[in-house]
Structure 1
Amino acid sequence: MVDITFDASWWLILVFVSDVIIRIAAIIVVPRNRRPTAAMAWLLAIYFIPFVGVLLFLLIGNPRLPRKRRRKQEQINEYITETSSHLDFGTLRPHAPDWFTSLVTMNRRLGAMPLAGDNAAHLIADYQESLDTMAAAIRTAEGYVHVEFYILQSDDSTDNFFSALEEVAARGVTVRVLLDHWANRGKPFYKKTLARLDAMGAQWRLMLPVQPLKGKYQRPDLRNHRKLLVVDGTVAFMGSQNVTDSTYNLRKNIRRGLHWVDLMVRLEGPVVASVNAVFLSDWYSETDEVLTDEIDLFDVKSGPGDLDCQVVPSGPGFEVQNNLRLFAALLYSAQRRITVVSPYFVPDEAMLLAITTACQRGLQVELFVSEEGDQAMVYHAQRSYYESLLRAGVKIWMYRKPYILHTKCFTIDDEVAVIGSSNMDMRSFGLNMEISLLVRGEEFVQEMRNVEDRYRRISRELTLEEWQKQPLRSTILDNIARLTSALQ
């Protein structure tokens, strides 16, 4: 009988060799086609905690959607470009700055919709009013209603919204609904919401489902973060608000007394077709159903306004970070004033450089964020940028708790604004599917300024003197969170 024993030294050698192989392989694999900051963060994770770091990298290290889904997005982009290239989308406002024209061209090349004129756009800043206004628009539907929201819950606050869907469905209107799988599963009222959609006869699908047993899987934290509603191709809504109670019905939020503050925009005119195109592309991605034969996407009509609007979708289905390029270009184009509202402000190097450079160019730069955080890691990562922003001259307004300022928008000078679902953080730039609306028109910017004034009255200014009194433990947490924020 042969007695086979292993000396402890062999285990040490095996662990050492495995560790070296992991480190060498990481240097070869991790940095490829990845931003330096993200690559460095992953390498630090793998080097300090090799086996855990490798496991995390295998689980969430790929920031791209599966090849099949990316191919679908390419097909959609090609269809929109070819179909709309010869169409007239309303009369554009005269005397557009050269930088604005080049910005629109860049967006178009990256997969955005055409710039459309003759649009009306009006902001809705009250949370419940937004839900009820969308419900009223749904009740006017004659042909179809398209609903796409990151979070969609049937609760007391949204009952009017769902009742409107039920009413139009009962009289034969087609109701199509998309909701993000990971953001809704396990949340309050999830099963009730799906049951209510089934009962009304709505056609609904989960976006980016993580269901490996059904052959549906991608990186779990690649999410569809868009919020939009289209009624008959004549009116649309988009912005930052989900269809749920302002507490999100979560016990931890209710216990802390937290309520979300959001901003939506109601649209009429040719730009509605662009919002609808985003819905149809996501519907095709989830169902393989092409609805362009049923819906004439580019049968557009002039709206009651004269705003120029361009819809810019972004996300891991595109080759580059469309929203980041749009935001950075606007920041460099501004000549007098920049106001940014973002609940999660974790800029990459390009965004941080653009904002601090604007201050050095003599512009007035303001940033609105929440005094209270609902996501610890993002909250602390955001705080790690405050000192450099304050030293550069950015005026930081902190929206007072217990409210979470969830609005995502910014304005430059007096003529151009952006509103949508995209935060100014690395997740929205690289991992989430987002939708942004670029608007040119003084009257719309003035509406936005009125909202900013309202936010300013409820906020307090953070000063550099106050910030320098932060305790050491907060600085340590902020710095650690800043490193993890780059893990993409």
Structure 2
Amino acid sequence: MSDLWQWVLDHGVLLLTYAFWAVDILLRLIALVVVPRNRRPGSAIAWLLAIMVFPLVGFPLYLLLGKSQLPRRRREKQQVVNRLMRVRSQSIPDSDLDEDVPSWLQSAVRLNRQLGAFPLTGNNSADLEIGYEASIAAMAADVRTAQHTVHVLFYIMGLDEATEDFVAALAERADAGVTVRVLYDHWGGASHRAQYRALRRRLDAHGIEHYPMMPIRPFRDGAFQRPDLRNHRKMVIVDGEIGWMGSQNMIASHYDKPANIRRGLHWQETMVRLRGPIVSELNLLFATDWFYESAQMLPQETVVRPSPDTSGSYECQVVPSGPGFVAENNLALFNQLFYSATRRIVAVSPYFVPDESMLAALITAARRGVEVELFVSEIGDQFLVFHAQRSYYSVLLEAGVTIWLYRAPTILHAKHVTIDDSVTVIGSSNMDIRSFLLQMECSLMVGGTDFMVKMREVEASYRASSRRLELEEWKRRPRLKQAVDNLCRLASAVV
């Protein structure tokens, strides 16, 4: 035995070298089999490239971040919810669309229902709010009218000077006996540590039940969950009668980050206030998220109730999406609408990193004569995404897409799309691969020309605060920046 040990010591460097190369080759071979399984070719190639160049680094990263699937216990909950939603959907007919809407809008309604099991509802009212502080004040005012329940869900939620009145309104109603339930994303909230802790203390002090969504607790749900699977929705529902949803988080417009304050950054948002039957559908979506985090199944009769206000004229449909769904619901809807457009597409997205199918849909629309406008920010708050989206500008401009850069120091964080004069999609979903694959999102499809008038006013205000990007200007940007953009585009494919 001593002779064998001595031999190992004498040849240790050689043995370690052989072991290193054996592991290196084994990881490469395993990656060739495992990585391409049920994955987009672009994503598979990006992962394989990372693993082939640095196997001992790339493969562990793939195990950590390579799967967008929820862990087993969460998948089981999702299956329960999906089954209940489809049973409910079978007994609820869609509302009738106006006679003047194009035939393709009905097919979009059927697609949404097949994907998310939410019906099209009629007789809704909807108003837009683009003022950051004004929307928080309006939500707080609505909360103070609550008599029965207040349901709150935000990706980022914290207690600071901007949100003090809203949180105070929640506390007031809870003290008055109203049932208040609050959800906030674990990573989104905890990344603003001081505001997050202050919020939790305030909610606890008033007996408000609250939970972090998608908590980062490895293996607790029966399997490892990659940490960047997030709940990105933003909703407030009061008594099942008033609903708010859109792009805005419940935090100050500079997100309480010293770097943002130094740069003078602040966020521009678009929120929609809803009344009518659609509010119950929004409340039902909240109830599914509440079930995931609390294991409490809220009684349907307390969540879905006949609306006392059916004086509105808008047809609305909730479109949920996220890693719990088999299909990429938001991507499927966007692409269907882009290919259906005959006159005009206006897309607003702070993070625009499309997959191949969406890029093809937009370019095809522009080349067949559809007027396509894309609103993005002149500056970015996320280095990788900002530079990745810039890599798409050349091909879009060459195809005839008009790109508007919202002027610094504001980050245009709104997320909405209008098609012709027929339909609007507004909500929390960006047009990037993360929103399609990794984040739970909530979108709202609104049909009809009346609501489009309000949307055109918002688009006009954005256009007035933006400058148009010209192709010749873009071609003259420094080669180093071009290289950074293209490198970030490659990295963004690793999902």
User: By the TM > 0.5 criterion, same fold?
Assistant: yes
Matches within 5 A, 1:177-188: 177-187=182-192, 188=194
Once residues 40 and 276 of structure 1 are traced to their aligned partners in structure 2, the CA distance between those partners, rounded to angstroms, is 41
- State the 1:73 CA deviation: 1.9
Question: Which residue of the other structure, out of 332, 344, 365, is the alignment partner of 1:337?
Answer: 344
2:211 pairs with 1:205: yes
Question: Which residue of the other structure, out of 361, 365, 377, is the alignment partner of 2:372?
Answer: 365
The aligned counterpart of 1:432 is: 439
Decide which moves more: 177-186 or 387-396. 177-186
Is the alpha carbon distance of 1:260 and 1:148 closer, same or farther for their aligned partners in structure 2, counting shifts above 3 Å? Answer: same
Once residues 359 and 79 of structure 1 are traced to their aligned partners in structure 2, the CA distance between those partners, rounded to angstroms, is 41
Which one-letter code corresponds to 1:148 in the other structure? L
The aligned counterpart of 1:391 is: 398
The aligned counterpart of 2:64 is: 59
Match of 1:110, SS state, is helix
Which one-letter code corresponds to 1:295 in the other structure? T
8 A Cα contact 2:240 2:303, kept in partner: no
Once residues 416 and 213 of structure 1 are traced to their aligned partners in structure 2, the CA distance between those partners, rounded to angstroms, is 42
- State the 1:13 CA deviation: 2.5
- State the 1:9 CA deviation: 3.4
Once residues 87 and 101 of structure 2 are traced to their aligned partners in structure 1, the CA distance between those partners, rounded to angstroms, is 25
- State the 1:122 CA deviation: 0.8
2:86 pairs with 1:81: yes
Match of 2:51, SS state, is helix
- State the 1:94 CA deviation: 2.9
Question: Which residue of the other structure, out of 431, 451, 460, is the alignment partner of 1:453?
Answer: 460
2:312 pairs with 1:291: no
The aligned counterpart of 1:32 is: 37
Is the alpha carbon distance of 1:335 and 1:473 closer, same or farther for their aligned partners in structure 2, counting shifts above 3 Å? Answer: same
Match of 1:295, SS state, is helix
Once residues 74 and 250 of structure 2 are traced to their aligned partners in structure 1, the CA distance between those partners, rounded to angstroms, is 26
Which one-letter code corresponds to 1:62 in the other structure? K
Q: What are the Cα deviations for residues 370-404 of structure 1, in whole angstroms up to 9, with x where unaligned?
A: 00100000000000000000000000000000000
Match of 1:212, SS state, is coil
Matches within 5 A, 1:57-456: 57-87=62-92, 92-187=97-192, 188-212=194-218, 218-292=225-299, 295-456=302-463
Once residues 315 and 79 of structure 1 are traced to their aligned partners in structure 2, the CA distance between those partners, rounded to angstroms, is 18
Once residues 78 and 214 of structure 1 are traced to their aligned partners in structure 2, the CA distance between those partners, rounded to angstroms, is 24
8 A Cα contact 1:84 1:298, kept in partner: no
Which one-letter code corresponds to 2:478 in the other structure? P
Decide which moves more: 111-120 or 331-340. 111-120
Which one-letter code corresponds to 2:199 in the other structure? T
Match of 2:302, SS state, is coil
Is the alpha carbon distance of 1:345 and 1:62 closer, same or farther for their aligned partners in structure 2, counting shifts above 3 Å? Answer: same
- State the 1:90 CA deviation: 5.5
TM-score between both structures, scaled by the size of structure 2: 0.96
Q: Alpha carbon RMSD of aligned pairs, Å?
A: 1.5
Once residues 479 and 254 of structure 2 are traced to their aligned partners in structure 1, the CA distance between those partners, rounded to angstroms, is 32
Which one-letter code corresponds to 2:319 in the other structure? V
Once residues 91 and 415 of structure 1 are traced to their aligned partners in structure 2, the CA distance between those partners, rounded to angstroms, is 15
Stretches of structure 1 lacking an aligned partner (at least 5 in a row):
none
8 A Cα contact 1:208 1:223, kept in partner: yes
Match of 1:178, SS state, is strand
Match of 2:162, SS state, is coil
What is the count of residue pairs matched by the alignment? 488
Report percent identity of matched pairs: 51
The aligned counterpart of 2:16 is: 11
- State the 1:275 CA deviation: 0.7
Once residues 403 and 248 of structure 1 are traced to their aligned partners in structure 2, the CA distance between those partners, rounded to angstroms, is 12
Decide which moves more: 297-306 or 84-93. 84-93
8 A Cα contact 2:101 2:422, kept in partner: no
Once residues 191 and 367 of structure 2 are traced to their aligned partners in structure 1, the CA distance between those partners, rounded to angstroms, is 47
Q: What are the Cα deviations for residues 204-228 of structure 1, in whole angstroms up to 9, with x where unaligned?
A: 0010001238668511000000000
- State the 1:485 CA deviation: 0.6
8 A Cα contact 1:340 1:368, kept in partner: yes
- State the 1:83 CA deviation: 2.1
- State the 1:170 CA deviation: 1.2
Q: What are the Cα deviations for residues 430-470 of structure 1, in whole angstroms up to 9, with x where unaligned?
A: 00000000000112111111111001111011111110111
8 A Cα contact 1:92 1:118, kept in partner: no
Moved over 6 A (4+): none
Once residues 439 and 252 of structure 1 are traced to their aligned partners in structure 2, the CA distance between those partners, rounded to angstroms, is 37
Decide which moves more: 395-404 or 291-300. 291-300
2:474 pairs with 1:467: yes
The aligned counterpart of 1:485 is: 492
8 A Cα contact 2:330 2:443, kept in partner: yes
Once residues 249 and 310 of structure 2 are traced to their aligned partners in structure 1, the CA distance between those partners, rounded to angstroms, is 26
